[in-house]
Amino acid sequence: MLRIELRPWPTACRLATPIRFAVFVKEQRVPEDIELDADDGASLHAIALNAAGEVVGTGRLLPAADERGRRISHVGRMAVLAPWRGRGVGSAILRALVDAARARGDTQIVLAAQVHAVDFYRAHGFEEEGAEFIEAGIAHRRMRRTLRG
């Protein structure tokens, strides 16, 4: 059984940070000093817990606006512990974040996908935009999904 909780940063911090550091800092060698940022405080965080209540994944939803001033969301910091990958955890986190964006009236969701995860996001209705770029030493692609009622 998997449970997804949506939390603000003050209560998500102690749960999400160890997952993000395990995946991004330890596995992917993202510099520790850029992993946590000011966007955490403005974001809604999804916390995935297994049947034992252990945190196995996380992601965040940052409110934003597009070039026309329409409400959109930015999904980021999607991370699932290695033993839990391929078991639907990332999909459950992403669905919860998409539902939260839709519930608050956002029209689109954007994200910067690591290139190895593009197919995952494509399977969830996201489309690539623009050229590949490097962020924190890792190749990424911008992706977007339009939300409909």
Measure the CA–CA gap between 49 and 7, rounded to whole angstroms: 13
Phi, psi of 137 (to 5 degrees): 80, 10
Q: What is the pLDDT of residues 45-78, one digit of tens each?
A: 999 999 999 999 999 999 988 888 888 999 999 9
CATH number of the domain bearing residue 111: 3.40.630.30
Domain count for the chain, please give it.
1
Condensed to tens digits (0 to 9), the pLDDT of residues 75-99 reads 999 999 999 999 999 999 999 999 9
**Confidence (pLDDT) at 119:** 97
In angstroms, the CA 13 to CA 7 distance is 9
Helices (H), the chain: 9-20, 32-35, 39-42, 89-103, 118-123
Does residue 136 have a pLDDT over 80? yes
The residue segments making up the domain with residue 77 are 3-146
| CB 113, CB 121: distance < 8 Å | yes
Question: Between 23 and 46, where is the model more confident?
Answer: 46
Q: Is the pLDDT of residue 149 over 60?
A: no
What pTM, to 2 d.p., does this model score? Answer: 0.94
